[in-house]
């Protein structure tokens, strides 16, 4: 029997605020345990939360960037549960009045655009971290993360394959990074994902029983975890078995999902309105101001790159992977004759350099103006493409202008007709065999002569001129 897979994602994103959502503690990753805490985030008796205006602003910006409708009036609620990662024994979250609802994200899949619905975006606080001892005889509690502002983005069950799930995650990350809402580093936990997955016979409308998978802490693991679970459910159903509603954990080491708890163990969180926080009332001006903070988003940029620069869709998607990269390209493309050459240099040598050095585009030692200058020097024949690759490497190392480096190292092409003719004469005389072969119709022999010529000029001869010149000289003998 053929099954259709139905996936919905719950994505948690830590907002890149200076301080935590309800206190003045620094919002920082990687500090020594329990050093970014105060009575408020420790839940000491008598303390009160106060909403961080920056967290609200970033949350609203994110909701708008995800095409959500933003509520003019929303509220916070308490989600009650006992666990040492939550010093108040409740999490301040939003239950029935989230800041954003009814949004969507578009992904490019199978050559087309697919829209994935965003049910809601809500603000909440993060919990602490428990480090369990290897023998399970004690657990260490680190509360630095308590109170770090989060948004939870809940998708509609519109995702049909594990690949779509990964693409959706990547697009969400890209949008939020464009908006400077979060750095979205999965490896640091600032972007996290839980997935609901179920299968149903193809053509059936009702959903099958779902399982929830947690702990998929990389894009690769999101796809692999879902692929595993998809296969597991399909095999169980095909064998006439039943899926039980469970929460599972993706175990990267064994590459399988492991049972965390079943439906019967589900918590009653006893949500109720947080009495310590006033309702969030937003004016139309406030919402408009947040909307104005949203830059051109990746999907729009991709579309524009194709339209404005005539780039292939593939180039456009690579170049818009981050806002900084796209802006870098935009800057170079504005200064060169052919935007495709800018795209080629960035996607080729520059991205390779970033990969080798582990740098981000922001850290790179070459301005868009310098890259544009380099491309201009190829275009006007001052240097060859081959020399340009060397110059590029030197620019990235030394940060000097290409023009200066070419000058310093005498790398300009020899395009002087007379000078080249003298060298060509020497090469022809020293290689009678090749000349003979060429005359006999062996086109390849010309290549050998040109190669000899480039060797004599240390690569600086203009290759087109050399080709033509040697052919003419042999023919004219």
Q: Which residues bind another protein (CB under 8 A)?
A: 18-19, 23-25, 38-40, 42-54, 78, 80, 82, 84, 87-90, 141, 268, 270-272, 275-278
Closer by beta carbon to another protein, 152 or else 274: 274
Residues 42 and 237 sit within 8 Å (Cβ to Cβ): no
Closer by beta carbon to Zn ion, 40 or else 339: 40
What DSSP designation does 19 have?
B
Q: How far is the CB of 37 from another protein (least distance, A)?
A: 9
| Spatial CA neighbour of 27 closest among 256, 355, 38 | 38
87 binds, among Zn ion, another protein, none (CB under 5 to 8 A by kind): another protein
Q: What is the dihedral of CA 286, 91, 269, 248, to 10 degrees?
A: 100
- What does the angle CA 186 – CA 192 – CA 195 come to, to the nearest 5 degrees? 130
338 binds, among Zn ion, another protein, none (CB under 5 to 8 A by kind): none
Q: How far is the CB of 143 from Zn ion (least distance, A)?
A: 9
Closer by beta carbon to another protein, 37 or else 153: 37
270 binds, among another protein, Zn ion, none (CB under 5 to 8 A by kind): another protein
Q: How far is the CB of 270 from another protein (least distance, A)?
A: 4
Q: How far is the CB of 139 from another protein (least distance, A)?
A: 8
Angstrom distance (rounded) from CA 261 to CA 212? 10
Q: How would you label 458-476 residue by residue, b for 16+ Cβ within 10 Å and e otherwise? A: ebbbbeebbbebbeebbee
Angstrom distance (rounded) from CA 392 to CA 375? 10
Angstrom distance (rounded) from CA 276 to CA 62? 25
Closer by beta carbon to another protein, 277 or else 335: 277
41 binds, among Zn ion, another protein, none (CB under 5 to 8 A by kind): Zn ion
Q: How far is the CB of 90 from another protein (least distance, A)?
A: 6
Residues 190 and 240 sit within 8 Å (Cβ to Cβ): no
Q: How far is the CB of 213 from another protein (least distance, A)?
A: 24
45 binds, among Zn ion, another protein, none (CB under 5 to 8 A by kind): another protein
SS3 396: helix
Q: How far is the CB of 123 from Zn ion (least distance, A)?
A: 17
Q: How far is the CB of 118 from another protein (least distance, A)?
A: 26
| Spatial CA neighbour of 147 closest among 128, 164, 119 | 128
**Alpha helices, DSSP H only, in 361-443?**
368-379, 385-398, 402-409, 417-430, 432-439
Closer by beta carbon to Zn ion, 125 or else 456: 125
Q: How far is the CB of 44 from another protein (least distance, A)?
A: 6
| Spatial CA neighbour of 333 closest among 321, 324, 349, 345 | 345
430 binds, among another protein, Zn ion, none (CB under 5 to 8 A by kind): none
Closer by beta carbon to Zn ion, 15 or else 465: 15
**Mind spelling out the 3-state secondary structure of 54-92?**
HHHHHHHHHHHHCCCEECCEECCEEEECCCCCCCCCEEE
Q: How far is the CB of 42 from another protein (least distance, A)?
A: 7
Q: How many Cβ atoms sit within 10 Å of the Cβ of residue 39? A: 12
Closer by beta carbon to another protein, 46 or else 240: 46
18 binds, among Zn ion, another protein, none (CB under 5 to 8 A by kind): another protein
- What does the angle CA 109 – CA 110 – CA 116 come to, to the nearest 5 degrees? 30
236 binds, among another protein, Zn ion, none (CB under 5 to 8 A by kind): none
Closer by beta carbon to Zn ion, 27 or else 119: 27
Token couple for 296: 């051109």
- Subset of residues 3 to 62 that bind Zn ion, contact rule: CB under 5 A: 23, 25, 38, 40-41
Angstrom distance (rounded) from CA 304 to CA 318? 14
42 binds, among another protein, Zn ion, none (CB under 5 to 8 A by kind): another protein
Q: How far is the CB of 43 from another protein (least distance, A)?
A: 5
Closer by beta carbon to Zn ion, 47 or else 347: 47
Residues 165 and 106 sit within 8 Å (Cβ to Cβ): no
Closer by beta carbon to another protein, 132 or else 455: 132
Closer by beta carbon to another protein, 80 or else 218: 80
Count of all residues that appear for the chain in the document: 477
207 binds, among another protein, Zn ion, none (CB under 5 to 8 A by kind): none
282 binds, among Zn ion, another protein, none (CB under 5 to 8 A by kind): none
For helices 368-379 and 402-409, the axis angle rounded to 10 degrees is 50
CA max distance for the chain: 101
**Site residues (vs Zn ion, CB under 5 A):** 23, 25, 38, 40-41
């Amino acid at each position: 029997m053929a099954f259709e897979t139905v996936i919905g994602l719950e994505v948690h994103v830590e907002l890149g605020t200076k301080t935590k959502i309800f206190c003045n503690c620094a919002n920082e990753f990687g500090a020594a345990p329990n050093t970014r805490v105060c009575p408020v985030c420790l839940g000491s008796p008598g303390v009160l939360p106060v909403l961080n205006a920056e967290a609200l602003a970033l949350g609203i910006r994110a909701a708008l960037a995800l095409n959500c409708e933003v509520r003019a009036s929303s509220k916070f609620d308490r989600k009650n549960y006992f666990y040492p990662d939550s010093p108040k024994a409740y999490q301040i979250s939003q239950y029935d009045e989230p800041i954003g609802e009814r949004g969507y994200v578009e992904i490019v899949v199978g050559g087309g655009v697919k829209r994935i619905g965003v049910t809601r975006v809500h603000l909440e606080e993060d919990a602490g971290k428990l480090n369990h001892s290897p023998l399970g005889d004690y657990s260490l509690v680190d509360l630095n993360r308590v109170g770090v502002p989060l948004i939870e983005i809940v998708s509609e069950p519109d995702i049909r394959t594990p690949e779509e799930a990964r693409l959706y995650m990547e697009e969400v990350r890209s949008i939020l990074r464009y908006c400077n809402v979060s750095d979205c580093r999965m490896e640091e936990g600032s972007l996290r994902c839980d997935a609901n997955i179920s299968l149903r016979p193809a053509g059936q409308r009702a959903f099958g029983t779902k399982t929830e998978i947690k702990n998929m802490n990389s894009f690769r693991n999101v796809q692999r975890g879902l692929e595993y679970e998809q296969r597991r459910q399909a095999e169980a159903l095909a064998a006439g078995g039943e899926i039980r509603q469970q929460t599972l954990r993706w175990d990267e080491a064994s590459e399988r999902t492991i049972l965390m708890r079943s439906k019967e163990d589900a918590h009653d969180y006893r949500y109720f309105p947080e009495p310590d926080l006033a309702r969030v009332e937003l004016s139309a001006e406030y919402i408009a101001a947040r909307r104005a903070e949203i830059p051109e988003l990746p999907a729009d940029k991709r579309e524009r790159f194709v339209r404005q620069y005539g780039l292939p869709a593939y180039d456009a998607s690579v170049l818009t992977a981050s806002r900084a990269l796209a802006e870098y390209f935009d800057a170079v493309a504005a200064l060169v004759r052919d935007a495709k050459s800018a795209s080629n240099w960035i996607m080729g040598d520059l991205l390779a350099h970033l990969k080798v050095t582990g740098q981000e585009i922001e850290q790179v030692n070459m301005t868009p103006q310098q890259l544009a200058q380099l491309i201009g020097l190829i275009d006007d024949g001052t240097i060859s493409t081959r020399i340009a690759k060397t110059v590029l490497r030197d620019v990235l190392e030394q940060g000097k202008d290409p023009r200066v480096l070419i000058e310093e190292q005498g790398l300009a092409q020899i395009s002087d007709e007379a000078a080249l003719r003298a060298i060509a004469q020497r090469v022809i005389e020293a290689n009678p065999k090749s000349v003979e072969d060429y005359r006999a119709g062996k086109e390849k022999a010309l290549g050998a002569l040109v190669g000899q010529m480039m060797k004599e000029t240390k690569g600086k001869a203009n290759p087109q001129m050399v080709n033509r010149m040697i052919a003419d000289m042999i023919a004219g003998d």
